[in-house]
A and B are shown apart, each in its own frame.
Chain A
Amino acid sequence: SVAKQTTEWLETVSHSLFVCSQQKELTSKKRDEFEDILEERRLSSDLRYAMKCYTPVIYKGLSPCKPNAIKSAVLQSEQVQYVIKQLAKEMGESPDIIQEEATEILDEMGHSMQLGAVRFFAFTLSKIFKRLFQRVCVNEEGMQRLQHAIQEHPVVLLPSHRSYVDFLMLSYLLYTYDLALPVIAAGIGKADFLGMKIVGELLRRAGAFFMRRSFGGNRLYWAVFAEYVKTMLRSGYAPIEFFLEGTRSRTAKTLTPKFGLLSIVMEPFFKCEVFDTYLVPISISYERILEESLYAYELLGVPKPKESTSGLLKARRILSDNFGTIHIYVGQPVSLRTLASGRINRCPYNLVPRHLPQKPSEDIQEFVSDVAYKMELLQIENMVLSPWVLAAAVLLQNLPAMDFELLIEKTLWLKGLTQTCGGFIEWPDNLCAKKAVVSGLTLHSNIARLVDGHVVLNDKGVEDGAVGEIVFKRALAILMCATYRNQLLNVFVRPSLVAVALQMTRSFRKEEVYSCFSFLRDVFSDEFIFFPGISLKDFEEGCFLLTKCDAIQTSQQEIYPTDKGSVIVSFLSAMFRPFVEGYQLIFRYLLKETKEAFTEKQFIPGVRNFVFQLLEKGSTQCYEALSSDMQKNALAALVQLGAVKKKKMSNGFTYSVNQEAVNKILDMFDARIPVQKPVAARL
């Protein structure tokens, strides 16, 4: 019967593969053309641009109101008043005091959009952007779709988050196209962003509002914040903008989504307070990220400079630098109503007054999570990849030095592969591969350079420095370089994990490969973006893409690399090797060094030192394991797999390791035991 099950499973797989391939062809869609918005800025007066007649299109159901009216509507709302009364009763305080507190919270986070500030920004940003960037390219059709959407229903803008430039740029863009400026939910740490007094105030007047990054237990804060966002959404006051990723991705790799804000903006639809809500995924791709070196330092645990106003002024130095081109792709607005149709029953909300806070049902939570992942996948789909991204990926597999001609050849080869797998490459018009790579090298001369016909990383610090110093410099260069390769990872993750699984299992049996793939997908679930649940579909897509580029052939029961395919398979699996090896190192650290419960604050430096020593000894080459991002993801994955217990304490979380479970996972990585999973049950 096992055999029978297997055949049945294989039939399903091959059938789905067929379906999948058909779908793929249908969905391999044409993307919009780009337009450079700086071009006109370079030709005409910035002042006139800033003072232009600005009459943005607005939501058709909007009843005009001032920011202050919104604030008082929020304070007087049944929702906030309810929580105030509750808290007053519980704490035995007078409601007036809590009301006072609510007012303060609202003032701290509230925005006060003023046209003057907007014009000031329009002028200054024009000046700054023109100096920083060569081009700012936008898909105009996307802007037109957005314009249409804004008039029809409340709109939520969901940009990717790689830099502080993101929200400045997006507001700038909407101003340029005469669209309503968004109100932005920007997270603030303690002395983080609000510390920048002047800039903070200006941003506030340009429409940003601020939420504390952590307000776990504070019910009043949550109530005021949620009501504030919902009030603006319901009234169609302005598009709401926030980052699904929650924070800037330090690695240029999309972070797994946060659900809190998304569920807030969906609630008015669930409660029938709006007819529909549009979710608009926006992909902002930087040829060179402004904060790239800051990020690398941060990942290595060197404290980042505070984002103070004076710090920003010092950053003037940056202004003389060149950061290449920005691509902004405004995706198709997605109707929440359409997403929810047939999935969400809104009737349960009818039996309780709508202002009472309700814990979302499991259905709703699952739906919010699915939508969040879907939006991030849409962001990824339209991220623009520059030639340098391809070159960086090649270079990282050929350290310490690579022949220049070979790099060009390989980059061109990778271009084809990337396009086959659906990657969105912007290759400057008619530019030959050599020029493209050279221009990438010029732009990123801080990372790599050409020496005697070879490309090498810029990892030389002080000559004859201590071993530690050399390792650190090298790690810095590699992490910076990896920031660019990382932009490819989510494009390749499905075929690559199939490739890794092929190598790890050393088997051609489809069932075994799938089982290993599925295991890898679970382990890397915090590292890469997978739509929840559909492991088999991801596997099929991976296999399909590998077949499409002639890397493998599949039969009913087997998968095997073709002759010329082994190059692709090993390239793709090598691309992900830093993660496989990095996770192994981290797991090993956990097994060796942690006998008692620990906190994240102890874990990060601990594992960093552990890896650092290994690098110094030369017993590993996996510099990327030094990245705190990878370390956190690995820990989170173990928590999800149940191999590490996470416990909430008064002062944060502590972790304790289940040695046996971690050992087992590590063994699977080392492929010492055959991977066994109840495959049939999953299918």
Chain B
Amino acid sequence: RQELLKWNGWGYNDSKFIFNKKGQAEFTGKRYRLGGMVLPTFKEWIEKTFGASLEHKTTSRASINVNDVPPSIVNEEFLQDLRATKISYSQDAEDRVFRAHGHCLHEIFVLREGMFKRIPDIVVWPVCHEDVVKIVELACKHNLCIIPFGGGTSVSSALECPEEEKRTIVSLDTSQMNRILWIDEKNLTACVEAGIVGQDLEKQLAESGFCTGHEPDSMEFSSLGGWVATRASGMKKNIYGNIEDLVIHIKMVTPRGIVEKNCQVPRMSTGPDIHHFIMGSEGTLGVVTEVTIKIRPVPEYQKYGSVVFPNFERGVACLREVAKQRCAPASIRLVDNAQFQFGHALKPQVASIFTSFLDGLKKFYITKFKGFDPNILCVATLLFEGDREKVLQHEKQVYDIATKFGGLAAGEDNGQRGYMLTFVIAYLRDLGLDYYVIGESFETSVPWDRVLDLCRNVKERIVRECKEKGVQFAPLSTCRVTQTYDAGACVYFYFAFNYRGISDPIHVYEQIERAAREEILANGGSLSHHHGVGKLRKRWMKESISDVGLGMLRSVKEYVDPNNIFGNKNLL
């Protein structure tokens, strides 16, 4: 699996954006719908948005320089004990570097141009719950530090090894614990090992006609255990729920022993739910090994859709109304104008004159006939799921609401492309990095009445901070509302800028991101909706949950892991 994936960027080796010989952008590989297609307007968009030029290029190192990698320091007694367990392990430099990071910008930057100061000393691959128990026992015996590793898609610096950690760091890779242990069709649950990756889980369940419906944007790479450890959220949570709604039972191995419940029930009143100590613990308490998760029959029918709104304000008002009437489809997202334009730039070359003509006609209808300003309008993408009849009924209800807010139906195709883009967009950063453009996404949740203010202020703050920090071209600062709830919404920001002329881009980038986070908090947004805290956002934990709240979490940690075996230093 490690072979399939990029060592210094996002996703599969064979999938990436390139500029072909004609200077046109192209997406390689066959894994995505966009694969092999030429994107004729994309180059212009990059140049216009970032002031970037194809002539100014930076290149990453071709491979890891093994000599730079910190040596593996593991004491022999432990190795002997480990060998006795027959659990496979590796001290190979590439294996260790691969597990020393997540996908924050600074981490990727280090991979491309430098080296981490501290990385795991050894990687272990348990294949089952019992293996994990053995490893944790050994770690306690030899006083080692364990950092659990699932899909490696963290964007909160959660996987970074604390530099000051003197003990041997063991990276516990759960990827070999990837079996579905059983499926219970009567109760619609499945017990699954925590290392399974999202898309494998769905694929294997589908063979029996089921799905979990949990689809975070990273589902191709992220693991079930990782979802539990970070309180993940899925795109289709409106039907299936977020991870906390899906989980029925969790088994976790801690230095104190195994924690689990004695039954698999939909709800119980037995004091505070211990699952909630585990979900979001970010690898600070133990390793999640097995999870019983709710499953559903694979839906009979899926339909995409999209709506164009004259402006972002109207779009948000529409989403709010949809949430009020509790009729949100499986997914409903609203992208702002900048992101709409971006999506537009990723439109592949059209196959026939006819489609091109049709596109032109649509554009004419929306901008000229309906008077939408192409520089203000915004788009909502929709995904409906269920049995055919209900989907069509549901669809009508949502489009009726949209019409009340000035929305115009804009077709299935635009909707589908919107969702495909969320998977592909992650690849873009690697292209940007080649041309002096750095960027990242971050998210928050916010009450409905503050959505507009928060979006405007955070975007503006980013623009102002860039200006003050000497960024020469106005940054891309854009957002989308990705989830709706009864009392608020989840907002996702993308932010990128051209760093030519700046000597320490990562530092500047981090200052701006920090300012943006402060603006979010001032505007009544949360520290995180689903990315988690990790080490990146630790400094705001106290103001987020109060002194006493932090103390409560600390005392749990102190009881469960008094010697800080799970010493990744996340969260607290």
Contacts and interface: CB of A to CB of B under 8 A. Distances in A.
A272 B525 CA distance: 11
B453 A347 contact: no
Contacts of B454: 272
A353 B524 CA distance: 11
Contacts of A276: 460
A272 B523 contact: yes
A353 B454 CA distance: 15
Interface string A268-289: 0000110110000000000000
A506 B555 CA distance: 67
Contact of A350 (B456, B460, B524): B524
Q: For chain A, what secondary structure do more than half of its interface residues adopt (helix, strand, loop), or is it mixed?
A: loop
Contacts of A353: 449
Interface string A368-387: 00000000000000000000
Contacts of B457: 272, 275
B460 A275 contact: yes
B450 interface: yes
Nearest to A354: B449
B185 to A, nearest CB: 46
Contact-residue bracket for chain A: 10 to 19
Given A347-B543, A353-B449, A354-B449, A272 B460 contact: no
Interface string B414-457: 00000000000000000000000000000000000110011011
Contact-residue bracket for chain B: 10 to 19
A272 B522 contact: yes
B488 to A, nearest CB: 12
A354 B449 CA distance: 9
A24 interface: no
Nearest to B447: A350
A347 B456 CA distance: 17
A353 B487 CA distance: 13
A346 interface: yes
Contacts of A61: 456
Nearest to B456: A275
A594 B523 CA distance: 54
B101 interface: no
B58 to A, nearest CB: 33
B236 interface: no
Contact of A275 (B449, B461, B543): B461
B387 to A, nearest CB: 40
B453 A273 contact: yes
B543 A272 contact: no
A275 B524 CA distance: 14
Nearest to B525: A350
A275 B522 CA distance: 11
A275 B464 CA distance: 11
A346 B521 CA distance: 9
A61 B456 CA distance: 10
Interface in B327-366: none
A65 to B, nearest CB: 13
A346 B520 CA distance: 11
Contacts of A272: 450, 453-454, 457, 522-524
Nearest to A270: B522
Contact of B521 (A273, A347, A354): A347
A272 B452 CA distance: 10
Interface string B272-314: 0000000000000000000000000000000000000000000
A272 B453 CA distance: 7
Contacts of B521: 347
Nearest to B463: A275
Contacts of B449: 353-354
B258 to A, nearest CB: 39
Interface string B6-25: 00000000000000000000
Contacts of A354: 449-450
Interface string A350-362: 1001100000000
Nearest to B461: A275
Nearest to A337: B464
Contacts of B461: 275
A436 B543 CA distance: 63
B105 to A, nearest CB: 25
Nearest to B524: A350
Contacts of B522: 272, 345-347
Interface in B475-522: 521-522
A353 B461 CA distance: 23
B382 to A, nearest CB: 27
B456 to A, nearest CB: 6
A354 B456 CA distance: 17
Contacts of B523: 272, 346, 350
A61 B521 CA distance: 23
A273 B524 CA distance: 11
A354 B450 CA distance: 9
A246 B521 CA distance: 36
Interface in B520-572: 521-524, 543
Contacts of B456: 61, 275
The 7 closest A-B pairs by CB, nearest first: A350-B524, A346-B522, A275-B460, A272-B523, A275-B457, A272-B453, A273-B453
7 contacts: A61-B456, A272-B454, A272-B457, A345-B522, A346-B522, A347-B543, A350-B523
Interface of A: 61, 272-273, 275-276, 345-347, 349-350, 353-354
